[in-house]
Amino acid sequence: MSTTNGRAHGEWFKSSYSGNPNGECVEACPQPAAIYIRDSKRLDELDCPVLSFSPAAWSTFTAHTSGR
């Protein structure tokens, strides 16, 4: 995992499990070389923090958190 700043990573989406009406959730931007994650509450910040995971690390994380 690494941290970057900025917004220009590509197309962002929110999880279909995100039911918060205020839109406060985690957003993801999958790319071939990395999966970017950001906090939707901080998008107005000039340098909104963005986490970067390798596809393998993200796959391991999602499998673990989903119980598979």
**pLDDT recorded at residue 21:** 62
Nearest to 2 by CA among 59, 58, 63: 58
Residue 16 pLDDT grade (very low, low, confident, very high; cuts 50, 70, 90)? confident
Q: Is the pLDDT of residue 7 over 60?
A: no
Question: What's the rounded mean pLDDT across residues 38-49?
Answer: 74
The H-assigned helical ranges of 1-68 are 55-66
**pLDDT recorded at residue 2:** 47
**pLDDT recorded at residue 20:** 64
What's this model's pTM, rounded to 2 decimal places?
A: 0.69
C-alpha distances in Å from residue 1, one per residue of 15, 16, 20, 38, 39:
20, 24, 26, 13, 16
